[in-house]
Amino acid sequence: MSVRFDDPNLVSCAGLAPVLALAARCGLTTLLTERLRIAATGGTHAAAKVLVLVAGMVAGADSISDMDLLRHGAMPRLFTDSRAPSTLGVFLRCFTFGHVRQLDAVAARLLARLTRATPSLRGADRVAFGGSG
């Protein structure tokens, strides 16, 4: 059986809306623009491509070809800067160890911003022990 979300009013991964809103609120695009530099061919618009990859992974994509799920149905309403899977593959092949370190710096700063922006993470510095009752 194959399911296809081709209706322009259906979104197969509506959970992306709050995830992308939180990423925007925490300044992920700005962090990527400031920290990630890829001079190689295929490295242009790096921030947009990383956001597409993150969104795809959140939506369940586990391969480059799965990234096409962001281009079906009403997904363009939620995610306006989608890229073709082949473009993302070229982009990922540009990465060096230094680029991975740049993304690590972005991730560290994003995590700090997420802890400030997300009330459910407050109190995470406290340790709780449970017992078997």
pLDDT in tens, the chain (133 residues): 776 656 677 777 778 888 888 999 999 999 999 999 999 888 889 999 999 899 889 988 899 988 888 877 777 776 667 778 888 999 999 999 999 999 999 999 999 999 888 876 566 667 666 666 5
pLDDT recorded at residue 85: 85
pLDDT recorded at residue 99: 94
Rg (CA), the chain: 17
Note if the pTM is more than 0.95: no
At position 37, the amino acid (one-letter code) is R
How many angstroms separate the CA atoms of 2 and 117, rounded? 39
Give residue limits of the domains in the chain.
16-114
